[in-house]
Chains A and B, each alone.
Chain A
Amino acid sequence: MLQIRFHGRGGQGVVTAAELLSLAAFEQGRFAQAFPSFGSERTGAPVVAFCRIDDREIRLREPILAPDVLIVQDPTLLHQIDLFQGLDSAGYVLINSKRSFSELGLDTIEQRFRRERLRTLPATEIALKHLGRPLPNAVLLGGFAALSGLITLAAVAHAIGIKFQGKVAEANVAAATEAFAYIQREREESVGA
């Protein structure tokens, strides 16, 4: 079972991100469960959402305490909460930021986990470019598809098409596609180096 934990702030579509990922996994024929942690419902307050993906029915309903994947939609949470709590040593981390792990003060994290599975992505900037609004959720899912290969970009685009309509859907797909290419390029560069 693959367990993904999303961190962000109220208003950034954190819960929607988990739901989108579950829709994408379902599209790929898998069982998926997405649910929010309603710690607070205020704009700007820390929000956590969860997604589980498996090849059989998921019965477990506890919050995700030991994630395989962390997706951080707001880097200002990094030094407020122990986001990395319980993260598997082979886990993936994707952080919405223009800066690198080192620039974010996360050198110790780079040492604790597998470096090639840790990435930052300027998701807010990509969202602003395509959507005109700082909504990084779908963008990060595009990036996650490239980072992990655990979900396809086509499935993410399909999920976006279910949740959103018309121009909003198109812009989100374009943003997720750009994020996918960005992470792929970065991965190729790091392999080349």
Chain B
Amino acid sequence: MLKQTEGSRAVAEAVALCRPEVICAYPISPQTHIVEGLGERVKSGALAPCEFINVESEFAAMSVAIGASAAGARTYTATASQGLLFMTEAVYNASGLGLPIVMTVANRAIGAPINIWNDHSDSMSQRDCGWIQLFAESNQEALDLHIQAFKLAEELSMPVMVCMDGFILTHAYERVDIPEQAEVDAFLPPYEPRQVLDPADPVSIGAMVGPEAFTEVRYLAHAKQLSALEVIPRIANEFAERFGRRSGGLLRGYRTDDAETIVVALGSVIGTLQDTADEMRAEGIKIGVLGIQSFRPFPLAAVRAALENAQRVVVLEKSFCVGLGGVVSTDVRLALSGLQLHGYTVVAGLGGRAITKASLHRTLRAAIADTLEPLTFMDLDWRIVNRQLEREAQLRRSGPIAENLLRDVGAIAIKVV
């Protein structure tokens, strides 16, 4: 059914349609509306049988999710930012144990400095945690990816993170098509666990493993993620056949076929990039956009195939690795090993800084002219950066950086948007 609703509410409806049996979560912006929506459904009885467990922290949320999933329940949680960091130890345990938990990450920056706005630092910090990571481009895709995520997680017995941009998607009202319960039931069979804590057939889960088999357990986790490279597109195809729209998959190209320049990105910025690419195409510039939906597993071969005929690749990412550069870029570069392409990393949208078409035009044109720095921080305010550097050169006690920069920027209210 077509509906105009908030991204968080749409995801809550999608998760409810998947009939989770245990939901445990601790509220944190910008994830809150999702779990509120689910909490209301459990309380009203609309989502039953399901237990909504209020926990005292994100660490407890993931710990309860592990217990519930091990006991054979379809389990869901959601978090963001510092919350994801706080549960990290349990996040690794969930994947190490092979438990098919589904978690939404409403992407938000990590402090310090404390910042509630969107970027991809939180889920990128869990890049190596062994969960599958899917990124949504729109609220429709966020909704659809959750339905696919439960099927994927349970088929592989592996947890799945669905990443959606905080505020930009979670708090945006837009048109979504919400499927019927019967359609979702036909797509997603009841959960049949590979391992379960059952008093009638007792097992233990979570053995200590020494050098004799640790590498093998880890290798099997890797092999399973690689098998997801086949399962993810298959599930996306089945979804498209049943629901009549394409969502998910490994990656999606937009006007890439004859493109000389391809911009690679994840998440909600893809739409703005597509609009920008259309405007540049109208001027005769051969540019396309490659959206990566599956960041883990990373589709090395598919990325290579999509990019190998271009002359220039610009990775635009909302995350970066201090002391190195791009996070996504590193993986894209691995996919392009041996190919002589011009490669650029553009770090944009950190801590909620708006990514505008005007800035994209400027940056991408510089890339096409090959005048762009290999690592560029889009719209960086050099004025306040240089002022701070000068302060540090002149004064030993130059003071806290964040406070200094805010003072230099002046009253935030001066800027309209």
Contacts and interface: CB of A to CB of B under 8 A. Distances in A.
Contact of A32 (B4, B269, B357, B413): B4
B355 A62 contact: yes
Contacts of A39: 412
Contact of A26 (B6, B175, B272): B175
Given A64-B417, A65-B356, A81-B413, A35 B271 contact: no
B274 A62 contact: no
B352 to A, nearest CB: 8
A59 B173 contact: no
A35 B172 CA distance: 5
B4 A35 contact: no
Given A22-B4, A23-B173, A35-B171, A60 B417 contact: no
Given A35-B167, A35-B168, A65-B417, A60 B175 contact: no
Interface string A62-85: 111100000000000000111101
Nearest to B278: A59
Contacts, number: 85
A152 to B, nearest CB: 16
A34 B172 contact: yes
Contacts of B270: 59
A37 B417 contact: yes
Nearest to B413: A46
Interface in B236-250: none
Contacts of A62: 272, 354-357
B293 interface: no
A61 interface: yes
B99 to A, nearest CB: 34
Contacts of B358: 65
A162 B268 CA distance: 27
Contacts of A32: 4, 173-175
Contact of B272 (A36, A40, A61, A86): A61
Contacts of B417: 5, 37, 48, 63-65
Given A31-B175, A32-B173, A61 B413 contact: no
A42 to B, nearest CB: 12
B4 A23 contact: yes
A22 B274 contact: no
Contacts of B272: 59-62
B186 interface: no
Interface in A14-30: 15, 18-19, 22-23, 25-27
Contact of A33 (B174, B274, B352, B413): B174
Interface of B: 4, 6, 116-117, 138, 167-168, 171-175, 268-272, 274-275, 352, 354-358, 412-414, 416-417
Interface of A: 5, 7, 15, 18-19, 22-23, 25-27, 31-40, 46, 48, 57-65, 80-83, 85-86
